[in-house]
Structure 1
Amino acid sequence: MTVSYRLMKLVPEFRTVDTATVTYTRLPRGRRRVTIDHRPLANVTPSDLLGWFSGLDGTIEYGGRTVPRYLAWHPIDHIRWELARPAPGGGAAEGARFRIVEQFAGRPEWRVDVVDRVEKLDETGIRLVQRVAGVIVLQLEHTWSPGRDRTHYVSVLDLGARALPVVNRVLRRRFPDEMVRAWVRHNIEEVGQLEHLLPG
Structure 2
Amino acid sequence: MKALELPAPRPVLWPLRPLESAAVSTSSDESRTIVTITHAPLEQVTPEMLAWWYGHIPGTMQYAGKTVPRYLVWHPLDHISYELIGPGEVVTPGSLVRLTEAPGRELDKLVDLEVTVETIDSEVAIITKRLLGSSIVRLENEFTPTNVGSRYTTRLTLGDTTALGRLLLNSVAHNRAFPTPKLTAWIRHHIEEVGNLENFLPDLFHYRAAHEP
TM-score, normalised to structure 2's length?
0.86
- Is 1:190 aligned to 2:189, yes or no? no
8 Å contact kept, 2:102–2:111? yes
CA separation in 2, counterparts of 1:103 and 1:44? 26
- Is 1:94 aligned to 2:93, yes or no? yes
Q: Percent identity?
A: 35
CA separation in 1, counterparts of 2:91 and 2:48? 15
TM-score, normalised to structure 1's length?
0.92
CA separation in 2, counterparts of 1:128 and 1:116? 6
**1:4 to partner: Cα distance:** 5.1
Equivalent in the alignment of 1:120: 119
Q: Structure 2: which 5+ residue stretches go unaligned? A: 204-213
2:132 maps to a residue whose letter is A
CA separation in 2, counterparts of 1:133 and 1:167? 9
Q: 1:67 to 1:110 in 2, by over 3 A?
A: same
Equivalent in the alignment of 2:184: 181
SS at match of 1:183: helix
CA separation in 1, counterparts of 2:87 and 2:125? 16
Aligned residue pair count: 195
Q: Structure 1: which 5+ residue stretches go unaligned? A: none
- After TM superposition, the structure 1 = structure 2 runs for residues 1-200 of structure 1, keeping only pairs within 5 Å, are 5=8, 7=10, 9-28=11-30, 30-86=31-87, 91-163=90-162, 164-165=165-166, 166-174=168-176, 175-200=178-203
Q: Deviations over 1:55-99 (max 9, x none)?
A: 111111112222110000012111000101126xx6211111111
SS at match of 1:198: helix
Coordinate RMSD, CA, aligned: 1.7
**1:11 to partner: Cα distance:** 3.3
